Structure formats: C-alpha cells, structure tokens
Structure 1
Amino acid sequence: MLTAKEQYEMDMLARQVTIQNSQTKISRNLANVELYRTVVQPIEADRARLFDAGTDLFKLALQSAFVLNGGALVALPALAAIPGALDADQQLFSTGELLGAAAWFLFGFVLAAAATLFGGLSFRALSGSRAEERNKEAEFVNASSDGREPPEFDETALNKFNSRAQLYYYMALVNWIGSYLVFSANTLVLIV
C-alpha cells in the first residue's frame, strides 16, 4: 500500500506524462496544420483557378462562335441584295449559293459550340484531378496527425481524370480548328 505522499507523487507524475503527451499531440497537430497549409491548400487554389479558367473558356469560345458564324449568317441576306436588288440576273450570289453558305456557317457554329463543350469538359476533368490529389493529400495529413500509417497513393482515379482531360482537350482542339477552317473556307468561297 502506498502512503499519501507516494500516491500524490504518482498522481503528479501521471499528470506530467498526460500533459507531455498532450503537448506532443498539439505539436504534431500544429505540424500537420502547417503541412495542410503548405501542401493541400495550394492544390485547392490550383483546382479553383482551373475551374475558373474553364468557365472563362466557355464564355469566350461561345462569344467568338456567335460573332463569327452567327454574324456571317446574319450578313448573308444583305449579300443577296447587293448589286441588283430588283434584277435577279445581276445578283452577286444565287439563292442556292447563299443557302449553301448559310449551312456551312451553321456547321461552323456547331463545331465551335462542340469545341467549347469539350474545352470546358477538359478543364472540369483537370479540376477533378486536382480535387482527387487534394483528397489524397488530406488523407495523408489526417493519417499523420493520428499517428497512423499514411495510405498508399492510388493513381488510378488521378490517371482517369488526366486521360479524360487530355481526350477532351484534343476533341476541343479539333472542333475549334474545324470551326475556323469552315468559317475561313466558306468566306473565301463567297469572296472568290
């Protein structure tokens, strides 16, 4: 049996160990907060920038598609009336040529819209990739703060997002170039 003094010393020693363990845990948590701040937050900020860039791309590409191909569609009736509004034999373009041009400008408009869609999907996939990366880093930080073994980084989901982003990017690029080629070729056909 312990004396009161020995019991008191044992209690004080146990409290000191508890305080020391708490201080160690606090220090470890502060280190993990710093790790989170330096690793995970920049990834999140990068993801947000990519998402904003995707949104801006949607707006810009749709505006240019409307202006180029839509403006050309609006201008076609004016071309029909240029030289001889009253005399059909003197008209610069036949109705068939103008309808053909309208169909091609409409096709260019559709290609530009598809390019916008795929470009936006590409940025969304990149954003998803960054979110997946952020989640993995957060899991690592949480495991470290709990004293657990950090999980192994499985790149399957990350690779899925990255390959989708690449596919969408190339699809957007092909449609974007196609839209401008259709617009340019159709304009040259009308001019020449």
Structure 2
Amino acid sequence: MKNNKLLQNPFYQSLKRNIMLTVILVSLTPTILVIILLLNQFQTSYQEKVEAHLKELVLKHKQNIDVFLKERLFNIRHFSKIFDIDQLSDEAFLNERLAILQSEYGPVFVDMGIVNDEGKQIAYAGPFKLGKADYHDADWFKKAITQPYFISDVFLGLRGLPHFILSVKRNYK
C-alpha cells in the first residue's frame, strides 16, 4: 500500500510522465529524421527524373521540327534549281508553285517571295499585301544573305504574326 501511495505522489507522477515522454521522443526522433531524409531524397530523385524526361522529350521534338524544316527547305531549294529567275519573278507562276506546295503540305507554306540581293521583294505569292516589301534592314535578311540556306527563328516581322523564314540564296546569271 505504501508503494501505491508513492506512485500517487505528484513528484513521481511528473517523473513518470517525463520519463515516458523522453522515451517516446528519443525513439521517434530518429524515425522522423529518417522519414524526412527519405522524402527529401525521393523528391530530389523524382524531380531529376522528370526533368531528364522533359529534356529528352524536348530534344526529340526539336529534332522532329529540324527534320521537318529541312525537308521544307529542300522543297524551296528544288524550285530555285529547276526554275530560272524570270519564271520565279512572275507572280502568277509563283502563285501556281505556292498552290502546289499547299496542296501537298497543307497550310505549312503560307506565302512565297522572291527577294533580290538588295532586300527588295520582286515577286510575291500569298494572302498578304507584301508585294514590294523591303527587307534590307531585316535581321533575317542580313543573316540569310551570307549563307546558301537559312531557317530563321520565329518572329513577328511585317505581318505582325508569328512566322519563320526559309530562304535559299541563289545567284542567277
């Protein structure tokens, strides 16, 4: 009975509670720390895998777009080789070529233009009123004039719409 009274003493009650809390705290603290560490490692690993997957996906799409644009550039190169400048300067003829490309590839080719070495458009086929546009100050023209073939980045240009340029430099004599 005396032993029972000792256990009812507030001091022993407090000591018992403190010992139990200490045991629980000491046993759970490492578990909680391990869980936090594992969650952090999992999150980091998962994020790295997602980023690697997205990079791979973007790379594949980039390669597909590059192949597509190079194929369309080949179409333009082909026209520049089989037709002379007089034919290509005729807007009716150029409209026929554009119609052929559009029937084959859909709305991929919106318009076509023939631009001389001074940046002046000498023929145009398409829905916009760009007949005698002057491109001598355009960034894409400055780059295109120095290379045999050129594919621009997407930009707004004279149309005010996002588009890109495929150009073939050809010296007609």
Higher helix share: 1
Q: Place the TM-score, normalised by the shorter chain, in its bin.
A: 0.3 to 0.5
The structure whose residues are more often strand, as a share, is 2
Query: Does 1 or 2 have the higher relative contact order (CA < 8 Å, sep 6+)?
Result: 1
Larger radius of gyration: 2
Taking structure 1 as the reference length, what is the TM-score of the superposition?
0.38
